């Protein structure tokens, strides 16, 4: 494809993302799937333009509003294609010193020529000073959430904002059922993928350069899985051991289920639950590739499915990776921040409480319950922990140092002193993630008074 053709393709994909409201990565995936003739280099170039726009959405909307002399609104983001292109070039100009309108020729699938009125608008846009932007727009954070981020990060907010705007690293978890970290790193290197050990996760490798990991033999043979270091640590703190009974209560597509199966060495009972059968079905391919054979997938009607009552107090370990705002993953899903609403957050926190209450019934006396979110918001994290403990005196928090498995080696210094695991992109180089480990009192000390007729 010509440079102009790549640019036009990015415009089309952006238009589609705005029109149907689906997650941007799915829109881009479907765009390429419907155009299999687009080669690998072209896909990379189109993707770069597409995500540059998504990662600068609020800044560009604010600049547009300043240029037009009005406040930022959704209308500024939903500008016509020609203006959006001007915005995209404005990003490149400010980031790289590049602004080339010569690609707007209308020839060979290139975008149509920039009209005189658009030239005037672009000139006004370039005159906007970056210092004029509101702070929430500079931070690429919804205006209603920005005060919470200031409260959370304080003086570290600039570093955290930049880390959350940067493209996330490609992290791999080595499958201990099939290989070791050193062997996996060597095989990946032989296939052209350079990696380095992660600072916290003992089975983690971080890719040092861009690479198509899914095309490697190491991936196809189940030696490695793509998984952020934070998620690897969440699975690690479950402390699952061979022969135990473990449930992944919100398993989704099975990333943490795979890690738990490896920790259990395919021995014992591992149940992967979710309310969406389709997500569980997608995990089947991953489980086969990884050689994880001790997993049973079970779809639930809701968090209070009758299956929960029938299996009350029968699991050694229970992991609840709860549905959440995903605010910790915005560096990987930059468009997700604009789907967050105050009403949606309130609904999520209520759901998180219900899920945690129900899943807690599965834990045997003396067992461990893990609550995790890929969020940095206290409403979804510490507040849920404190709320849970007020209703469940039979549980206590297990500090990270106590939950850390002995076989994982010494606790990394960067995680020392944490009561609950709290990770951020700026401080730890991971997705934002929260994990609270609870231990249920042994039977003699268990003072829970659950009714036999609980749903």
DSSP letters spanning 244-275: -EEEETT-TTSHHHHHHHHHTTT-SEEEEEES
Cβ atoms of 313 and 394 within 8 Å: the answer is no
Q: Which domains does the chain have, with CATH numbers?
A: 3-138 (1.10.940), 171-226 (3.30.70.1170), 229-445 (3.40.50.150)
* Sign of the torsion angle spanned by Cα atoms 146, 27, 284, 180: negative
> Beta 269-274 vs 295-299: how paired, if at all?
parallel
Question: Which pLDDT value is given to residue 64?
Answer: 76
Distance in angstroms (rounded) separating the CA atoms of residues 401 and 423 = 15
Residues paired with residue 196 on neighbouring β-strands, in sequence order: 206
Q: How far is CA 215 from CA 40, 69, 194, 227, 256, in A?
A: 12, 49, 14, 16, 22
> Beta 245-248 vs 315-321: how paired, if at all?
parallel
**DSSP-based three-state secondary structure for 322:** coil
Q: How far is CA 405 from CA 287, 369, 402, 410, in A?
A: 23, 15, 8, 9
Distance in angstroms (rounded) separating the CA atoms of residues 282 and 236 = 23
Question: Which pLDDT value is given to residue 94?
Answer: 55
Around 322, how many Cα atoms within 13 Å sit in the side-chain half-sphere? Answer: 32
Query: Active-site residue among 64, 273, 324, 374?
Result: 374
Buried b / exposed e along 85-121 (16+ C-beta atoms within 10 A): bbbbbbbbebeeeeeeeebbeeeeebbeebeeebeeb
Query: Would you give per-residue pLDDT tens digits along the chain (455 residues)?
Result: 888 888 888 888 888 887 877 888 899 999 999 988 888 888 988 888 888 888 888 888 787 777 776 444 444 433 454 555 555 555 555 554 445 567 777 787 887 777 777 677 777 777 788 888 899 988 999 999 999 999 999 999 999 999 988 888 999 999 999 999 999 999 999 999 999 999 999 999 999 988 889 999 999 999 999 999 999 999 999 999 999 999 999 998 899 999 999 999 999 999 999 998 888 888 899 999 999 999 999 999 988 899 999 999 999 999 999 999 999 999 999 989 988 999 999 999 999 999 999 999 999 999 999 999 999 999 999 999 999 999 999 999 999 999 999 999 999 999 999 999 999 999 999 999 999 999 999 875 665 544 444 44
Residue with tokens 């709860």: 322
Mention every residue, 6+ apart, whose C-beta is less than 8 A from residue 130: 94, 138
Cβ atoms of 250 and 374 within 8 Å: the answer is no
> Beta 315-321 vs 363-373: how paired, if at all?
parallel
324 is catalytic: no
Cβ atoms of 219 and 213 within 8 Å: the answer is yes
- In 102-151, which ranges are E strands? none
């Amino acid at each position: 494809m010509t440079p102009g053709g790549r640019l036009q393709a990015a415009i089309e994909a952006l238009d589609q993302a705005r029109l149907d409201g689906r997650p941007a990565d799915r829109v881009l995936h479907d765009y390429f799937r419907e155009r299999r003739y687009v080669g690998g280099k072209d896909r990379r170039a189109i993707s770069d333009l597409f995500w540059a726009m998504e990662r600068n959405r609020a800044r560009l909307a604010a600049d547009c509003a300043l240029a037009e002399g009005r406040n930022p609104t959704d209308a500024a983001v939903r500008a016509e294609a020609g203006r959006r292109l001007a915005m995209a070039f404005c990003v490149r100009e400010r980031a790289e010193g590049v602004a080339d309108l010569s690609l707007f020729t209308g020839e060979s699938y290139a975008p149509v020529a920039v009209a005189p009125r658009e030239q005037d608008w672009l000139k006004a846009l370039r005159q906007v000073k970056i210092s004029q932007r509101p702070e929430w727009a500079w931070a690429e954070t919804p205006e209603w959430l920005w005060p919470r981020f200031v409260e959370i990060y304080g003086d570290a907010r600039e570093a955290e904002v930049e880390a959350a705007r940067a493209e996330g690293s490609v992290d791999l978890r080595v499958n201990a059922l099939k290989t070791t970290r050193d062997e996996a790193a060597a095989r990946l290197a032989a296939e052209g993928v350079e990696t380095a050990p992660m600072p916290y996760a003992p089975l983690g490798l971080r890719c040092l350069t861009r690479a198509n990991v899914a095309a490697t033999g190491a991936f196809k043979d189940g030696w490695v899985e793509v998984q952020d270091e934070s998620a690897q640590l969440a699975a690690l703190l479950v402390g699952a051991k061979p022969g135990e009974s473990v449930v992944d209560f919100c398993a989704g597509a099975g990333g943490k289920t795979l890690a738990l199966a490896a920790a259990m060495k395919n021995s014992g009972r591992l149940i992967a639950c979710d309310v969406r059968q389709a997500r569980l079905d997608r995990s089947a391919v991953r489980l086969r590739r990884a050689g994880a054979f001790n997993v049973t997938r079970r779809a639930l009607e809701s968090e209070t499915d009758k299956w929960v009552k029938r299996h009350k107090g029968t699991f050694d370990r229970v992991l609840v990776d709860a549905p959440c705002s995903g605010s910790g993953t915005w560096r990987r899903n930059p468009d997700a921040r604009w789907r967050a609403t105050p009403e949606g957050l309130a609904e999520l926190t209520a759901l998180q409480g219900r899920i945690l209450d129900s899943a807690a019934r599965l834990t045997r006396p003396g067992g461990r319950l893990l609550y995790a979110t890929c969020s940095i918001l206290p409403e979804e994290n510490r507040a849920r922990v404190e709320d849970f403990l007020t209703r469940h005196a039979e549980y206590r928090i297990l500090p990270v140092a106590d939950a850390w498995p002995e076989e994982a080696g010494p606790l990394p210094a960067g995680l020392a002193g944490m009561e609950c695991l709290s990770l951020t992109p700026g401080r730890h180089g991971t997705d934002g993630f929260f994990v609270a480990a609870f231990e249920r009192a042994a039977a003699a000390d268990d003072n829970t008074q659950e009714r036999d007729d609980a749903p």
